[in-house]
């Protein structure tokens, strides 16, 4: 959450979270900006609520309104840096998050970190890798089967729909 006006947020189609259905499963996805990232962006004039409090409130609302099978947090908090292990702190403080996709510190995790029942994954920096987490249905319960990092190079064919979506965002970002 930031001090942007609600009008601006709705114009950009920004929501607190999204619910995605894959097969029989409901997956809640939300994003946060960690403490260090907020401090580094202070020149923007935006202010942000504490990321732990925001995550707790968002997860509580998600569970109350949707009861998803999986909760995923896209975090710009970071792992792998003793000073900036914000996503490890997040997993400890908000244990109902099932998966944290970690950014900000550019960590390259060849295998996911586990903090209690939360999996933390990170694909490095600058789009050099994309991560893949394989999940399975074990009698109605989602289980983690595997995790891999795939190098982005000439052997990876771009997804046309994703590229079109990226192009549509460039004007707002620029």
Burial of residue 123 (CB within 10 Å: 0-12, 13-18, 19+) is: buried
DSSP line for 96-163 = T--EEEE-SS--B-SS-EEETTEEEE-B-STTSEEEEEEEEEETTEEEEEEEEEEE-STTSPPPHHHH
Structure tokens at 54: 């925001």
pLDDT in tens, the chain (174 residues): 444 454 555 666 778 899 999 888 899 999 887 777 666 666 666 777 788 999 999 999 999 999 999 999 998 777 875 556 888 999 999 999 999 998 777 777 788 888 998 999 888 887 888 889 888 888 877 788 899 988 988 888 888 998 898 888 887 777
């Amino acid at each position: 959450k930031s001090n942007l006006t609600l009008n601006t947020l709705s114009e950009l189609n920004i929501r607190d979270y999204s619910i995605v259905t894959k097969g029989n499963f409901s997956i809640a996805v939300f994003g946060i900006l960690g403490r260090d990232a907020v401090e580094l962006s202070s020149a923007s004039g935006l202010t942000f609520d504490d990321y732990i409090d925001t995550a707790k409130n968002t997860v509580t609302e998600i569970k109350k309104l949707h009861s998803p099978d999986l909760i995923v947090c896209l975090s710009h908090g970071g792992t792998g840096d003793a000073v900036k292990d914000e996503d490890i702190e997040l997993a400890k403080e908000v244990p109902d998050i099932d998966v944290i996709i970690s950014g900000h510190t550019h960590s390259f995790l060849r295998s996911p970190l586990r903090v209690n029942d939360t999996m933390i994954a990170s694909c490095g920096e600058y789009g050099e890798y994309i991560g893949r987490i394989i999940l399975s249905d074990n009698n109605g319960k989602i289980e983690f089967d595997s995790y891999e990092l795939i190098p982005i190079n000439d052997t990876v064919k771009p997804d046309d729909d994703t590229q079109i979506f990226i192009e549509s965002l460039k004007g707002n970002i620029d």
